[in-house]
């Protein structure tokens, strides 16, 4: 799947209430649909390390495997991802993630590669 670029930080405010614009709702739905297929049999209940590699389609003069240093920011990408993983039942709470490695790349094969280790 091509990773979404909309992030949880793109909330909007209308009449004093926060809401997600259509692109954030679409990104959330895309992540949940793909994450649900890989949900662990049992939720994690203790501390975990989350390793995530975001691989975006190559554009311009970038090369396969080159670090992506443009938006979206890794912290914003991770927030939506972890919220979706919580909604899918990966863990009781994303506060259990006490170690994270997050990287963004340009890649010939786009996707999000995730590894969760109990620690």
- Give the fold, CATH level 3, of 8-118: 60s Ribosomal Protein L30; Chain: A; (3.30.1330)
In the chain, where the domains are located: 8-118
Q: What is the pLDDT of residue 1?
A: 87
Output the CA angle 91-11-1, nearest 5 degrees: 55
Phi first, then psi: what are they for 69, rounded to 5°? Answer: -115, 15
99 CB neighbour count, 10 Å cutoff:
11
Handedness of CA 90, 36, 13, 79 (dihedral sign): positive
Mean pLDDT of the chain: 93
- The answer for residues whose C-beta is within 8 angstroms of residue 8's C-beta and 6 or more apart is 24, 76, 79, 80, 83
35-51 tens-digit pLDDT: 999 999 999 999 999 99
């Amino acid at each position: 799947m091509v990773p979404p670029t909309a992030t949880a930080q793109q909330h909007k405010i209308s009449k004093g209430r926060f809401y997600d614009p259509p692109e954030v709702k679409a990104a959330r739905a895309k992540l949940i649909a793909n994450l649900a297929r890989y949900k662990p049999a049992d939720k994690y209940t203790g501390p975990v390390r989350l390793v995530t590699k975001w691989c975006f389609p190559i554009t311009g003069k970038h090369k396969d495997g080159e670090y992506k240093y443009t938006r979206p920011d890794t912290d914003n990408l991770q927030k939506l991802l972890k919220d979706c993983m919580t909604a899918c039942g990966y863990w009781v709470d994303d506060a259990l993630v006490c170690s994270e490695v997050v990287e963004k790349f340009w890649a010939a094969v786009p996707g999000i590669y995730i590894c969760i280790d109990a620690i």
